[in-house]
Amino acid sequence: MGIFILTILDSTMALRPTPEMQQRLSRLEFLAKQAVEGFITGLHKSPFHGFSVEFAEHRIYNPGESTRHIDWKLYARTDRMYVKRYEEETNLRCQIVIDFSSSMRYPSEVTLDSPGMNKLKYSVESAAALIELFRRQRDAVGLSLFSDTLDLQTHARSSMSHHRMLYHKLEGVMDSPSSAQETSAISSIHQIAEATPRRSLIIIFSDMLDKSEDLDSVIDALNHLRHNKHEVIVFHVLDKSTEITFDFPERPTKFVDLETGAELKLHPSEVREHYISRMASLRKELSARCGAHGIDWIDVDIAEGPVPVLARYLIKRKKLL
């Protein structure tokens, strides 16, 4: 279990969009568009050209099937019944999974509108940017949210209205007041593995600070996803300056576990060395064991912005298609 600074926690979260949220929704969508535009401008080669979303082939029409995709112009010209098929049908199906337990509100309580960053805001903004990217590539995307239980599991779709709904849900997560919610990543991931259609790409944003502290169970849960033929990327979201390098001021400091409320008064210099080495070995072990099961484990720093997330996703997509 990690060490956290105190924030005020109360009430339960609400996921239904309010009119005020809908107004601000466009801001999250706007931020996502900006992030993706900036990212694409920075690429040397656009990933969006080529055959991937284009009309790819004609197939003989089978009597009895839907007439929706018949190429009527061709029928008019040649009397032949052919169906147009698009590459889109073979596009990716992706499930974004966000851990919104209390530890994700580290290092400080922020909202979408306020300056500053915490792990949850980073995850929400990165997810919004990914959704924008999926929209452009016409990939289907779904969303799962979990803390101590699995709170939301949507289907993967590629329609505009579905994307809007996902932005609403993401806004809802950021706007919900925080309460002391422990992480139960393990049981949630097992549920997601069963609920998501096979052969999906599952992208998880979490600090993976599970209440059970049992690495074997975490790996078992992630492996369950692989067993169901999913491709898995875990973005291990961290505040590098404090969680990896333990960069706290040299004075007695009160550390509070955001999930349980447990407090500990310490002088940072007393535990720094021990903390850094334990954290390093934990990250190394998780990364190595995930690698052995074909799971991409990637540490991301909330100070970096969503670009590394987008880049990593595109690399993975290229490998898959």
Chain residues that interact with another protein, rule: CB under 8 A? 50-51, 54-60, 74, 77-78, 80, 82, 85, 87
Structure tokens at 286: 């998780």
Residue 66 CB, nearest distance to another protein (Å)?
A: 17
Residue 298 or residue 314: which is nearer to another protein going by CB? 314
Yes or no: say if 61 and 82 are a contact pair by the CB < 8 Å rule.
yes
Closest CA to 295 of 153, 212, 193, 213: 193
Residue 231 CB, nearest distance to another protein (Å)?
A: 20
Residue 311 CB, nearest distance to another protein (Å)?
A: 22
Side-chain half-sphere exposure of 59, counting CA atoms within 13 A:
13
Residue 57 CB, nearest distance to another protein (Å)?
A: 4
Residue 30 or residue 48: which is nearer to another protein going by CB? 48
Residue 59 or residue 254: which is nearer to another protein going by CB? 59
Residue 79 or residue 216: which is nearer to another protein going by CB? 79
Residue 49 CB, nearest distance to another protein (Å)?
A: 11
Compute the chain's Rg from CA coordinates. Answer: 22
Task: Provide the residue type at 173 as one letter.
Answer: V
Residue 46 CB, nearest distance to another protein (Å)?
A: 15
Residue 135 CB, nearest distance to another protein (Å)?
A: 23
Residue 91 CB, nearest distance to another protein (Å)?
A: 13
Residue 90 or residue 159: which is nearer to another protein going by CB? 90
Residue 139 or residue 207: which is nearer to another protein going by CB? 139
Residue 51 or residue 216: which is nearer to another protein going by CB? 51
